[in-house]
Amino acid sequence: MRTCDAVGIQEIYVLNTKIPRHKKWGSKSSSSAAKWLTVCQFTDAAECFSVLRKNYSTIMATHLGAASVDLYEMDFTGKIALVFGNEHSGVSEELLRYTDGNFIIPQLGMIQSLNISVACAVTLYEAFRQKSLAGHYKERKLNEGAFNELWKEWSLNNRE
């Protein structure tokens, strides 16, 4: 969540089918970054990916497979959603069916995986680099009304 905040990502979509819904996110582990983000929680995969499809033109998952593309060959300048699996079993075959493709983070060691926070950070900073070069951060993307609503919500969250 800290990395998302650091690179200007506002929304995080969490699909959780294994444990109960979180009431409060990362008050310790994310240095309270969650209070600055919009966290959308889902317990149904079809519903989650339906929302993603409405908001993003491409959905890519981290997955080590024959058709996976290298992270550094991806174009992050469009509206893209990234799917990261849990650290034990990755992105499930069920969820892969909802995506447009897979990508990998190139690695030279014997272990072909990173923990989820590191994988997210590496990927998001590559997206940040590409978007910066394309001029995406030169001006605020939120309209004035949406910005004011978020500011009001953030102000309320900071009082807790």
Q: What's the pLDDT score for residue 151? A: 81
What pTM value is reported for the model?
A: 0.84
CA distances in angstroms from 160 to 79, 134, 153, 154, listed in the order given: 33, 38, 12, 10
Strand order in the sheet with 58-62: 69-70, 101-104, 58-62, 80-83
* Residue environment code for 72-111, b if the CB has 16+ CB neighbours within 10 A, otherwise e: eebebeeeebbbbbeeeebbeeebbebbeebbbbeeeeee
Mean pLDDT per 10-residue interval, the chain, length 160 residues: 90 81 53 77 95 97 92 96 88 94 93 89 97 90 82 72
Domain boundaries, the chain: 2-158
CATH number, domain 2-158: 3.40.1280.10
CA-wise closest residue to 7 among 74, 82, 95: 82
